[in-house]
A and B are shown apart, each in its own frame.
Chain A
């Protein structure tokens, strides 16, 4: 599969602080990759390096096989970017800024597409940018990005200021560009969004990629929540290796089950009369929290 974004062991330090330590991941053509991690983990730094705004200290980062720093201008012609905090010229109107962004790309503006997006995002382009809320400023960047015919879309927490309805519009638009064959890198805090949209995720923590792969693969790494009710009381479950955080509530046993020990668990409960067995699939959030908590714990 054609690799559109390829990051290979990039490093970046700001003074003594090491912001990125051998970060590597890739985005294939037609794929949407979620890029998640707690605040200050290095998501935006990675994106800024990808955009050629700052230079990496080591490693290599390429977009379309071109070096992101040396061939920045060429690359920018094919990339659309929406930052988390959109900064606009306060005395220009939203419509003017959208036109400006598009004209900077040097391509012809697809007016119909632009108008359609303005309608879909329910955006008023006649007001001056200083009067816009965070969400509206975000819409300016989103409309400009989706109006452009780009091959790669990079979103850095694009829906942070949007209401749930607009979030859905964003997700639909993202799927549309994917259908057209574009690739998307989505950095986000909203894990449900990443879960719904992304084929693969990369989790970054303290400047290092700690987990990377398809959501299906990653789920194996985590645990399912099992709610179990049996006729008999099972005391021995507490001492089983596959069960974690065992609690009892109104005769029900709730615990976390290692996904790769499902078989052991089934064999374990065979002798008992099972009245209720519920299994909740692992959420991305659990996966994320596992890493997040370990960060907090200083591991």
Chain B
């Protein structure tokens, strides 16, 4: 078994282009497309036609006390043009006693933004009201009840979860690509006849398969691990510290994918056909499984049902839950079992089909 395992690594090291390319693509996509350049604050252009520049700055300082949003001073014309040109989605306009939003397009941050601005405005207005009514100045707000949030869930906005989903989803998507493309080797071996060389050695078929599959399993795990490591160290994406849980999830996911590969190879048995089938399967799996966009935006029940059958959905779900909510293995039992179960099913059917094909 180890000879076959070693052989596969030897072949991979001689031709590492595929793996390196997909690793590079993962980083590129996560970095540029998923907008994951560190933790982003959303900037809100703020303008006012009534307030003086000083008054406006005062408001902006007050609004910037919390770090969720970054309010930036601007003027109406610029903001109007930017919204018209779709460069910004929204802007905040302040008047003496009120505020307004200029909204160009719907954005999922808007409701949070409105809530946030509203809360501050109401507080300020109430303070001003008290000051005027009672002729007081320099009021200070004392908090009688301190709320301490312990759960991670509350601290994570839906946007953060979405971005993390994209990071994880992209990494998994490209790893599926490279694992499946790497597995074409197996079919190529059968076609070129080197597989028979392996069969005609004092190795059992089980050992040959085990050697091959262990290689793909490890190669896939290394690829995902490496992508996460680079994203964490170089790009600074927080992926938590639950290494054991992450390891188990990566293992289960890669196992499911390697098994999926075996199934595909059982059905389609020339490398040329596989080169066509793999991108179709991988991309549709990623779309249905929510690697490209959050499944919350999907309403079609059929699509959601199909999504439930995709290993990538469970892989992402488990990873995001572990990173964000510190879920332990026992809490991850559902997605993990789903992955392992899919793996066993695909592997069983796949090997069966493959062996039936090669018997003839």
Contacts and interface: CB of A to CB of B under 8 A. Distances in A.
Interface of A: 51-55, 73-74, 76-77, 81, 83, 85, 87-89, 91-92, 96, 100-101, 103-106
Given A87-B192, A87-B193, A101-B197, A92 B10 contact: yes
Given A91-B14, A101-B197, 4 more contacts: A73-B202, A87-B197, A91-B15, A100-B3
A105 B197 CA distance: 11
Contact of B194 (A81, A87, A96, A106): A87
A55 B355 CA distance: 13
Contacts of A53: 196, 199-200
- For chain B, which range describes its interface: under 10, 10 to 19, 20 to 34, or 35 or more residues? 20 to 34
B201 interface: yes
A51 B200 CA distance: 7
A81 B200 contact: yes
- Does more than half of chain B's interface fall in helix, strand or loop, or is it mixed? helix
Contacts of B198: 104
B200 A105 contact: no
B204 interface: yes
B203 interface: yes
Contacts of A54: 359
Contact of B7 (A52, A73, A83, A89): A89
Contacts of B14: 91-92
A55 B198 CA distance: 17
Given A89-B11, A89-B194, A105 B201 contact: yes
Nearest to B204: A73
- Does more than half of chain A's interface fall in helix, strand or loop, or is it mixed? loop
B343 to A, nearest CB: 27
Contacts of A52: 199-200
A73 B11 CA distance: 25
Given A100-B3, A100-B7, A88 B194 contact: yes
A150 B14 CA distance: 31
A81 B197 CA distance: 9
Given A91-B14, A92-B14, A100-B7, A106 B200 contact: no
Interface of B: 3-4, 7, 10-11, 14-15, 192-194, 196-204, 359
8 contacts: A54-B359, A73-B204, A87-B197, A91-B11, A100-B3, A104-B201, A104-B202, A105-B202
A211 to B, nearest CB: 28
Nearest to B201: A104
Nearest to B189: A89
Nearest to A90: B192
A76 B7 contact: no
B3 A103 contact: yes
A85 B202 contact: no
Contacts of B192: 87
B292 to A, nearest CB: 34
Contacts of B204: 73
Nearest to B206: A73
A55 B359 contact: yes
Nearest to B203: A104
A73 B10 contact: no
Contacts of A106: 202
Nearest to A141: B197
A146 to B, nearest CB: 16
Contacts of B193: 83, 85, 87
A89 B11 CA distance: 8
A77 B203 CA distance: 9
A123 B214 CA distance: 34
A73 B197 CA distance: 13
A114 B115 CA distance: 79
B350 to A, nearest CB: 21
A19 B138 CA distance: 103
A89 B198 CA distance: 11
Contacts of B3: 100, 103-104
A221 B194 CA distance: 42
A249 B192 CA distance: 54
A91 B192 CA distance: 13
- Most B C-beta atoms less than 10 A away, residue of A76, A83, A89: A89
B196 A96 contact: no
A87 B195 CA distance: 9
Nearest to B207: A73
A212 to B, nearest CB: 25
A31 to B, nearest CB: 22
A64 to B, nearest CB: 13
A143 B112 CA distance: 74
Contacts of B194: 87-89
Given A100-B3, A100-B7, A76 B202 contact: yes
Contacts of B199: 52-53
A42 B359 CA distance: 18
B142 to A, nearest CB: 73
A229 B300 CA distance: 100
A105 B198 CA distance: 10
- Most A C-beta atoms less than 10 A away, residue of B7, B197, B199: B197
A97 to B, nearest CB: 9
B359 A101 contact: no
Contacts of A77: 202
B208 to A, nearest CB: 10
Contacts of A81: 200
Given A87-B193, A89-B11, A103-B3, A73 B203 contact: yes
Nearest to A129: B194
A76 B197 contact: no
B43 to A, nearest CB: 51
Nearest to A104: B201
B200 A76 contact: yes
A69 to B, nearest CB: 11
A52 B204 CA distance: 11
A55 B4 CA distance: 24
Nearest to B197: A87
A54 B193 CA distance: 14
